Structure 1
Amino acid sequence: MSVPLAVVRAAFESLQRGDLDACAGHLTDDFIVNLPGLPDPLHGRDVWRAGVQAMRDGFPDLRHTIEDIFAAGDRVAVRLRFTGTHTGTFQDVPPTNRRVTFTSIDIYRVTGDRIAEEWVSPDMTTLMRQIA
């Protein structure tokens, strides 16, 4: 297994355990977050943590399944399926107690033994339809 692939897998294993500190430890100090709809990237582990925490606040039982993962050079592509229950407020939508499932396709750039940048493309339309 390539180093970039092993690093991304280890980060997702930490995330699945709910260990955000361990997961953040797999990120570089100057980690870059690229999100659809934003003209400029965001920077820092705190930005990443805030995004993950917002998901966990809205869906405390959120779990992911890696459906595909592969690496080429310093890049790792991951196709994920998320499932959870909307028991907390998410993007100003009060809890509905509905089960949700949605996918995301993410690309990660790894430098050394840390993730330096991510491009995430979660299917927010499908997610929001399930809780609207």
Structure 2
Amino acid sequence: MSIEIRKEIARRLYEEVVTEGRTELLETFVAEDGTDGSRPQASWSNGRKGFQEHVDGLRTSVPDVRATVTDLLAEGDRVVVFWRIEGTHEGELWGVPGTGRRIEADSISLITFRDNQIVNYSVLPDRLTILRQVGAVAA
């Protein structure tokens, strides 16, 4: 698989799966044994089901979520995605009940591929900025 194809799958993960809610694409994008290294392992399922839970949780917390890819870097079987999240905090997020406040923050994700599918996903969101925006942490 070419680096350009990996980058395109990574972009579509954010633009189509996260923003548009097209979770049926996870069947194509994510390996059955894929892992989401972003969340405590005891709290999520493995494979596509775990990715589905991650996306569903985000879209419940921020129903109008918009994920915009701002840059992609790739080498070998890995893609680094720089992306921006925007939306309205309506449901519980990191222990904070919905506030109705707008959030905007940058995130960086590392995606590892095997045989044209994602086998590991890790995201580093700017939690501090988001927690400040929803009033959970003083500015």
Instruction: State TM-score, norm by structure 1.
Output: 0.85
2:61 to 46, 58, 61: 58
- Say if 1:70 and 1:76, in contact at 8 Å, map to a contact too: yes
1:30 to 15, 28, 33: 33
Aligned residues with identical type, % of pairs: 30
1:106/1:122 CA distance change after superposition, 3 Å: same
Give the secondary structure class of the aligned counterpart of 2:97.
coil
Query: Which one has the bigger strand percentage?
Result: 1
Q: What's the CA shift for 1:106?
A: 0.5
Give the Cα separation in 2 of the matches to 1:89 and 1:35: 17
Q: Which amino acid aligns with 2:10?
A: V
- Root-mean-square deviation (CA, aligned residues, Å) is 2.3
- Say if 2:26 and 2:51, in contact at 8 Å, map to a contact too: no
- Say if 2:89 and 2:103, in contact at 8 Å, map to a contact too: yes
Give the Cα separation in 1 of the matches to 2:90 and 2:35: 30
Q: What's the CA shift for 1:129?
A: 1.9
1:122/1:104 CA distance change after superposition, 3 Å: same
Q: Residue 103 of structure 2 corresponds to which residue in structure 1?
A: 100
Give the Cα separation in 2 of the matches to 1:110 and 1:85: 31
Q: What's the CA shift for 1:2?
A: 2.2
Alignment of 1:13 onto 2:51? no
Alignment of 1:68 onto 2:71? yes
Aligned residues: 131
Q: What's the CA shift for 1:105?
A: 0.6
Give the Cα separation in 2 of the matches to 1:44 and 1:120: 16
Give the Cα separation in 1 of the matches to 2:96 and 2:33: 32
Instruction: State TM-score, norm by structure 2.
Output: 0.81
